[in-house]
Each structure stands twice: as C-alpha cells, then as structure tokens.
Chain A
Amino acid sequence: EIVMTQSPATLSVSPGERATLSCRASQSVSSNLAWYQHKPGQAPRLLIYGASTRATGIPARFSGSGSGTEFTLTISSLQSEDSAVYYCQQYNNWPPITFGQGTRLEIK
C-alpha cells in the first residue's frame, strides 16, 4: 500500500498571501496524484489531477507541481472561500486508493 503523508496538518495564512501544501508518497506514483478541496457538508472537489493539471472550472490561483514522491499544491492570493481541508490522493497503484491525512487551511 502506498502511504501518503501531508504537511503541515494545519496552516493559517492571511488573505491575499500564498499557501504551500506538501504531500509525500511512500513510493513513486509518477504523476498520478490528485488534490481535492473538502468543505463541511459538501462533496470533495477535484482541484488538480496528473499532479499539475487543473480540473474544469478551477481558478488559476490553484497550481500543482511535483512527480515521483514529492508534490506541492500552491494557492496564491488566498481568499476567504479557500478555507477547507485539502487532500492529496494517489491513483498510480490501486487498490487500495489512498489519501493523505489532510491539511486544514485556515484564513486569518
């Protein structure tokens, strides 16, 4: 099983600033890495797939990078509505489908 580890667990950033979230895989997942945004009471929303491709309708302030075992989600010019839990997920080698434990992003 590929274990996904996210850091930090919680991130507090001011509006307009940049947030950088990290995700590490226990073995290479190539570029088969997705990022999801999850708000209370809603279904997770796909932000990024293929490590760096924005999903349909996702604003350009969300960007993903990395390959192999190290990945980053960057949210530039943070807005209040970006407050959520963010998950990375590998889909290179399943089953099982595995997620990171999540990073809670708080907007100050």
Chain B
Amino acid sequence: QVQLQESGPGLVKPSETLSLTCTVSGYSISRGYYWGWIRRPPGKGLEWIGSVYHSGNTYDNPSLKSRVTISVDTSKNQFSLNLNSVTAADTATYYCAGHLTGLIDYWGQGTLVTVSS
C-alpha cells in the first residue's frame, strides 16, 4: 500500500521560503511515477503546484511565476517542495501526490502552512 506523508514547518514568515518534504512508503520512487504538490488555500479550490519525475525532470504551474523548486531524493524515498518569496496568498493546506499520467493516484493527508509574521 502506497502512503505519502508531508512534513515541514506550519508557519513561514512573509518573503521567506516555504519548504516541505514528502516521504513515500510502500513504493520506491526510483521505479517511476511523477511526484507532485497540490495546495488548497482557505475557501478556495485545489491548485496544482508542480511535479517531478523520478528521473528529476520537473514541471511546474506557470501561475507561480518560477517561485517553485521540486526535487527528488531517491536515497531517502522523498521529494521536496521549495516555494520562495511567500506571501499571505500562499497560506494553504499543501498535499503531496503521486501520479503516472495526470490522474492523481496517491495523496498525502495534507499539511497546513500559514504565512504570517
């Protein structure tokens, strides 16, 4: 059974970098799949942030204006999100996810990140 678990700070100051890690269990991420991040701001809908292929190729949402870095660490079976220059608009529940096509097959439980001084 594939399970994903997000970890990272729940509070980030404005203009700083939001950093989250997703640990995958039950599947070796080096075998394949895309691994990505999706968020849901309070009162809003789901927004895809970006994904990384097991080889390291990345794809991100142009709406985030190149503030996103997603990387994979196959030795730890983890992948990570860095979102720089955050503002209050980046306050959201962040989900890590796994997908083979664009259909999301696996979701983490989500972690709330608040941007505030």
Contact = CB atoms under 8 A, between A and B. Distances in A.
A24 to B, nearest CB: 15
Given A42-B109, A44-B107, A91 B102 contact: yes
A98 B48 contact: yes
A90 B61 CA distance: 15
Interface residues of A, number: 25
Contacts of B105: 46
Interface in B65-116: 95, 99, 101-105, 107-110
B21 interface: no
A97 B102 contact: yes
A32 B104 contact: no
5 contacts: A1-B62, A38-B46, A43-B95, A44-B95, A97-B48
